[in-house]
Amino acid sequence: MMTLPTRESMYEAVQNRDESFVGVFVVAVRTTGVFCRPGCPARTPLPENVEFFARPSDALHAGYRPCLRCRPLDLVEQPPAWVEGLLRRIDADPRARITNDDLRLQGIAPDRARRYFLTRYGMTFQAYCRARRLGLALKQVREGQDVFTTGLEHGYDSDSGFRDAFAAVLGAPPSKSETLNVLTCRWLETPVGPMLAATDEHGLCLLEFVDRRMLPTQIQTVQRRFDARLVPGDNGVLRQTHDELEEYFAGNRKVFSIPLALRGTPFQESVWRELLRIPYGQTRSYQQVARALASPNATRAVGKANGDNRIAIIVPCHRVLAADGTLHGYGGGLWRKQRLLELESGQSALM
């Protein structure tokens, strides 16, 4: 379960309309039945009337409705300025070690950075930095650079310290790096919610909504299937995924050209390939997909393979409907399935 900041610090953020806490929590008001972003301009409620949740979905499940003024369900296009600054600093020099004292000198509370990164990126700020450093280190060790030299270049004072850190993050010591695969992952914002994308050296192997309940299981499955660990970073396939998704949501792309790395059971892969054959703007039933695979009695198995799809939108499992044409079985939520189908039917663009 996600850990929230203290109630006192969250209420203070609400009082100060502190938007740097956006993405860390939402505040719900018992007297009005609505929930808001921390920076909502509405009048600050009394402390005894508020309730805090880690995610908007938690507030919705508790019976609250989103505020019409601050629109807490809408996509936040950019992280707060202080987070953007940190990300730019890391990208400029991933090898640099940013200490808590460095954060304080920038006016950033280390605890706030830790919680924000944990909430939005699935790891603390320091873990994010370590993963970036070690991802680069893995590449250098694979290219033949001495382990001790690589460790020193990435800020480790000893060979053993580097080996321990390497194993903790990537799952294997440097001596085994020639056989260790790394999946490069990136957080992508979309009009229907943030997504986690990951690639191996051949293509996209994961694209999933970060609030999907099954995401941890999907990550574990991908890591097992590819014998790899996820490391934050960027590459050409991830940039192409970002760009083509933007075009898709703007209504300007109907066919994706992103290279895919599908890896599942033979039956799963056959279903996923069949999904790729469903044209933009069209749908199929589970039974139709089963018949196309020459397995007319495998409707239920097709449904399960459809649900096990780990590359949402690109492998269009949202285009599969129940036999009566109703929406059914979408891991990202039926509301997303509906919006994607509306986009593809030409009813509206989502950008």
255 and 349, same domain (yes or no) = yes
Q: Is residue 260 part of a domain?
A: yes
At residue 95, the pLDDT reads: 77
169 and 229, same domain (yes or no) = no
At residue 246, the pLDDT reads: 93
Count of domains for the chain: 3
* Catalytic positions: 36, 317
At residue 1, the pLDDT reads: 40
Q: Is residue 75 part of a domain?
A: no
H runs (alpha helix) in 171-298: 215-226, 236-249, 266-275, 286-292
Segments of the chain scoring below 70 in pLDDT: 1-3, 57-58, 60-63, 74-78, 120-122, 135-136, 138-180, 347-351
Q: Is residue 1 part of a domain?
A: no
Contacts of residue 76, Cβ cutoff 8 Å, sequence gap at least 6? 22, 23, 189
Q: Write the pLDDT tens digit of every residue in 45-64.
A: 999 999 898 877 667 656 67
The tokens describing 142, both together, are 């694979």
321 and 243, same domain (yes or no) = yes
Q: Is residue 74 part of a domain?
A: no
Last residue of one domain, picked from the residues 66, 93, 112? 66
CATH code at position 32: 3.40.10.10
At residue 270, the pLDDT reads: 96
255 and 323, same domain (yes or no) = yes
Q: Is residue 144 part of a domain?
A: yes
Torsion angle of alpha carbons 237, 239, 226, 122, nearest 10°?
180
DSSP assigned state of 173: -
76 phi and psi angles, rounded to 5 deg? -90, 105
Q: Are 38 and 18 in contact (CB under 8 A)?
A: yes
CATH code at position 246: 1.10.10.10
205 phi and psi angles, rounded to 5 deg? -120, -10
Amino acid sitting at position 20: S
Place of tokens 């393979």: 305
Contacts of residue 179, Cβ cutoff 8 Å, sequence gap at least 6? 172
206 and 257, same domain (yes or no) = yes
Last residue of one domain, picked from the residues 125, 152, 179? 179
Q: Is residue 48 part of a domain?
A: yes
74 phi and psi angles, rounded to 5 deg? -70, 155
Quote the domain boundaries for residue 293.
183-351
At residue 210, the pLDDT reads: 76
Q: Write the pLDDT tens digit of every residue in 81-132.
A: 898 888 888 878 877 889 999 999 999 999 999 888 877 666 788 887 877 7
290 and 338, same domain (yes or no) = yes
At residue 199, the pLDDT reads: 94
238 and 345, same domain (yes or no) = yes
87 and 39, same domain (yes or no) = no
Q: Is residue 2 part of a domain?
A: no
49 and 114, same domain (yes or no) = no
Place of tokens 């509405």: 42
At residue 118, the pLDDT reads: 77
102 and 209, same domain (yes or no) = no
165 and 187, same domain (yes or no) = no
Please name which of 200, 194, 181 lies closest in space to residue 238, comparing C-alpha atoms: 200
At residue 245, the pLDDT reads: 96
Please name which of 9, 133, 22 lies closest in space to residue 84, comparing C-alpha atoms: 22
Last residue of one domain, picked from the residues 135, 159, 179? 179
CA distance 181 to 350: 36
140 and 201, same domain (yes or no) = no
Q: Is residue 22 part of a domain?
A: yes
Q: Are 40 and 23 in contact (CB under 8 A)?
A: no
Torsion angle of alpha carbons 342, 186, 89, 158, nearest 10°?
170
